[in-house]
């Protein structure tokens, strides 16, 4: 399949999954996606589970607390939401690992521009993360304590957030000066 056909199939799958309400169908879709994803299925599944773990745990716990207090807890709803998120993230990771996104959106100059910007930002952040990791390793020959790792993660998060805000501000000013915003 061509990258454009993969993009179409991915978008159709996302829409279809968004309409599914039965947890059995969502689970079947996840099993089907895992089966069809080939040799990298376990790597993709691991990445999926790690990337949704914190978010889904926070949302599920929040729902559990609020719904239990109101007396409207639905295990079916909680299962459906979590399965849908896992399936959508898995499909997204599978799509990105398999398809050159720039080639998939080559039919649109605007989408190509957005993808190019996004890939550039991703590469810049990967470099920052690598530098942080290497600096932390070089400063800690022994396994650091949990508090040290927590402080490092907080500093890293703060740096990435500041870099994101600064980059967004710079891009917005550049786009405004070129007439992209009509305010």
For tokens 């690992």, what's the residue?
97
As a whole number of angstroms, the distance between CA 92 and CA 135 comes to: 31
With CA atoms as reference, report the closest residue to 53 among 30, 82, 31, 81.
82
The pTM of this model reads 0.75
User: For residue 86, which of 31, 22, 152 has the smallest C-alpha distance?
Assistant: 31
- Look up tokens 């967004």; give the residue: 168
Residues 14 and 68 reside in one and the same domain: yes
Q: Say if 182 falls within a structural domain.
A: no
In this structure, the answer to whether residues 114 and 50 fall within a common structural domain is: no
Residue 136 lies in a domain: yes
CA distance 117 to 171: 10
Nearest residue to 17 (alpha-carbon basis) of 76, 77, 81, 87: 87
Percentage of residues in the chain having pLDDT higher than 90: 42
125 in a domain, yes or no? yes
- Provide the greatest CA pair distance for the chain: 55
pLDDT value of position 182: 65
Give me the domain span that covers residue 113.
108-177
pLDDT digits (tens, 9 = 90+) for 105-143: 999 888 888 888 888 888 988 998 899 889 888 888 888
Residue 135 sits in the same domain as residue 120: yes
Does residue 76 share a domain with residue 146? no
Residue 48 lies in a domain: yes
Contact 98, 43 (CB under 8 A): no
Alpha-carbon distance values, 108 to 3, 5, 111, 127, 149 (Å)? 13, 15, 5, 29, 43
pLDDT at residue number 130: 92
Neighbours of 5 (CB within 10 A): 11
Query: Of 84, 101, 118, at which residue does a domain stop?
Result: 101
Judgement on whether residues 70 and 96 belong to the same structural domain of the protein: yes
* 118 vs 104: CA distance, rounded Å: 14
- Residue stretches of the chain with pLDDT short of 70: 181-183
- Domain count for the chain: 2
Which pLDDT value is given to residue 27? Answer: 95
pLDDT at position 79 is 92
Residue 9 has a pLDDT of 94
Q: Within this chain, do residues 125 and 50 fall inside the same structural domain, yes or no?
A: no
Predicted pLDDT of residue 183 = 58
Angle at 69 between CA 18 and CA 74, to 5 degrees: 35
Residues 85 and 120 in one domain: no
């Amino acid at each position: 399949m061509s990258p454009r056909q993969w993009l179409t199939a991915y978008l159709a799958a996302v829409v279809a999954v968004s309409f599914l309400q039965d947890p059995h169908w969502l689970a079947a879709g996840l099993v089907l996606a895992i089966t069809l994803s080939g040799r990298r299925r376990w790597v993709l599944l691991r990445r999926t589970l790690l990337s949704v773990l914190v978010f889904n745990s926070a949302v599920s716990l929040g729902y559990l607390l609020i719904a239990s207090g109101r007396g409207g807890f639905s295990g079916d709803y909680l299962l459906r939401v979590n399965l849908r998120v896992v399936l959508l993230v898995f499909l997204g990771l599978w799509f990105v690992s398999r398809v050159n996104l720039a080639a998939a959106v080559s039919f649109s100059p605007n989408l190509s521009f957005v993808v190019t910007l996004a890939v550039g930002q991703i590469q810049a952040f990967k470099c920052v993360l690598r530098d942080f990791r290497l600096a932390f390793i070089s400063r800690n020959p022994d396994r650091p304590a949990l508090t040290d790792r927590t402080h490092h993660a907080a500093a890293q998060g703060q740096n990435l957030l500041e870099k994101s805000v600064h980059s967004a501000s710079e891009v917005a000013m550049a786009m405004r000066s070129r007439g992209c915003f009509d305010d």
